[in-house]
Amino acid sequence: MIKKLLSGVSIFALAMVLASSAFAGDTLTATQTVDNGVATVTINYTGDLTALGIQVSLADGMTLASVDAANAPDIKPKAGATGNLDFAYVTPPASPVTFSYTVAGAGAASAQVLYRRLGDEIVVPVN
C-alpha cells in the first residue's frame, strides 16, 4: 500500500517537474505608452496563461476618464475612479494584448501585470 502511494506521489512530482519545465522558456513583457492622457498597455507573452490582470496606480489628482472599448478587459474600473485601478480578463486573450484608457489630471501612472500559468501569481512591472 505504501509503495503504491509513493508511486503515485512520484508520478505527481514528475508531472509537476515536466509542467514547470514547459513554462521555463515562456516569457511575458509589458509596456505602457502615454500620449495626451491616453495610456496604451501592450502585453506580449509566449505559452499559455490561466489568468491575466493589470493594476494601475494613479498619482494623486488623477482620475480615470474612460476605457477604450476595443480590446478592453472584461473587468475594469468605472470612469471617475482614482488611486489603484484593477483591470482583468476572464479568459486571457491571445498575445499580443493591447488596450487603452484615458486619464484626466496631471501626474504619472505606474502599472504592473499579474498573471498565472498554472500555479502562483507572477507580477511583472510595466515599462
Helix (H, G, I), strand (E, B) or coil at 3: helix
Q: Which three cell numbers stand for residue 23?
A: 513554462
pLDDT in tens, the chain (127 residues): 444 433 344 433 333 433 444 456 899 999 999 999 999 999 999 999 999 999 999 999 999 999 999 889 999 999 999 999 999 999 999 999 999 999 999 888 899 999 999 888 889 889 8
Identify the sign of the CA torsion 87, 126, 33, 107. Answer: positive
Q: How far is CA 21 from CA 16, 40, 99, in A?
A: 8, 32, 31
CATH no. for 27-125: 2.60.40.3670
Residues 6+ apart with CB under 8 A from 126: 30, 31, 32, 41, 54, 110, 111, 112, 113
